[in-house]
């Protein structure tokens, strides 16, 4: 079992380019697992965590409803946004500047073989990070991601999640709103959930801008602790 994880900070990168890169890393791990089984070898499989910020883009999961995108092609161009149908779970979401997007590409057989536990740990990482800023974030029963003021008329989502797993290898992940232009969420029914608001860390803290580097450091700290993993330098 290899509990080392390599963190790759990609800066701002096009969504499709990042998706292709995810697929390459994912396939590399899957191929190694197939080789181990066929040849009865014990090659270690690598694990990665990609951290990235995307230009404006809307992505629709495989179980999503395209009517939850409220823009036509001309309006997408006007908004300087792109749209992709992708192979993760979940419905529609938005990625854009000021948002920390994380893609763990892990061989869960290095850690535990439980997708529900995997999702709960990703949520817990967000909850613990936001607690450091004095925010009480929670899960919302039957709804993905991480929320504030669950069970009240003021419930609002601060982090979206959608993953894919095959042969216990994960891809896609989480999107935490830090300094996001929330107006872009007005163009979708976020995650297919009607009548629920979306928020961003800077809005909750009443700040113009939150230090993204600091937030990423906190996320990585909790991620490695929860997964009992070791950082590859």
Q: Give the span between the Cα atoms of 135 and 92, in whole angstroms.
A: 26
Identify any residues that bridge with 165 across adjacent strands, giving them in sequence order: 170
Q: Is 195 a residue whose pLDDT tops 70?
A: no
Q: Give the span between the Cα atoms of 146 and 138, in whole angstroms.
A: 6
Q: Is 143 a residue whose pLDDT tops 90?
A: no
CB 179 within 8 A of CB 209: yes
Environment class of residue 221 by beta-carbon count within 10 Å: exposed (0-12), middle (13-18) or buried (19+)?
middle
Which of the four pLDDT bands, split at 50, 70 and 90, describes residue 193? low
Q: Is 117 a residue whose pLDDT tops 90?
A: yes
| Active site members | 191
pLDDT for the residue numbered 188 = 86
Q: Is 162 annotated as a binding-site member? A: yes
Q: Is 175 a residue whose pLDDT tops 90?
A: yes
Task: Share the mean pLDDT of the chain.
Answer: 93
Which of the four pLDDT bands, split at 50, 70 and 90, describes residue 194? low
Q: Is 206 annotated as a binding-site member? A: no
Q: Of 214, 216, 169, whose CA–CA distance to 52 is shortest?
A: 216
Query: What is the bridge-based pairing of β-strands 197-198 and 169-177?
Result: unpaired
Q: Is 131 annotated as a binding-site member? A: no
**CB atoms inside a 10 Å sphere around CB 9:** 12
For the chain, domains (ranges, CATH) are: 4-232 (3.30.930.10)
Q: Give the span between the Cα atoms of 111 and 47, in whole angstroms.
A: 10
Q: What is the pTM of this model?
A: 0.94
Q: Is 88 annotated as a binding-site member? A: yes
Which of the four pLDDT bands, split at 50, 70 and 90, describes residue 191? low
């Amino acid at each position: 079992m290899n509990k080392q994880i390599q963190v790759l900070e990609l800066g701002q990168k096009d969504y499709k380019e990042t998706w292709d890169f995810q697929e390459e890393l994912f396939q590399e791990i899957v191929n190694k697992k197939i080789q181990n089984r066929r040849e009865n070898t014990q090659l270690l499989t690598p694990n990665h965590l990609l951290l990235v910020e995307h230009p404006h883009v809307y992505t629709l999961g495989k179980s999503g409803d395209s009517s939850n995108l409220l823009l036509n092609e001309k309006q997408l161009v006007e908004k300087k946004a792109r749209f992709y149908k992708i192979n993760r779970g979940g419905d529609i979401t938005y990625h854009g500047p000021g948002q920390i997007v994380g893609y763990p590409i892990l061989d869960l057989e290095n850690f535990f073989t439980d997708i529900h536990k995997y999702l709960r740990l990703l949520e817990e990482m967000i909850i613990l990070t936001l607690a450091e800023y004095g925010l009480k974030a929670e899960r919302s029963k039957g709804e993905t991601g991480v929320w504030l003021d669950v069970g009240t008329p003021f419930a609002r989502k601060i982090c979206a999640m959608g993953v894919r797993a095959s042969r216990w290898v994960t891809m896609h992940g989480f999107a935490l709103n830090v300094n996001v232009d929330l107006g872009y969420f007005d163009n979708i029914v976020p995650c297919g959930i009607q009548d629920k608001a979306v928020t961003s860390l800077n809005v909750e803290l009443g700040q113009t801008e939150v230090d993204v580097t600091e937030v990423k450091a906190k996320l990585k700290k909790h991620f490695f602790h929860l997964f009992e993993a070791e950082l590859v330098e």
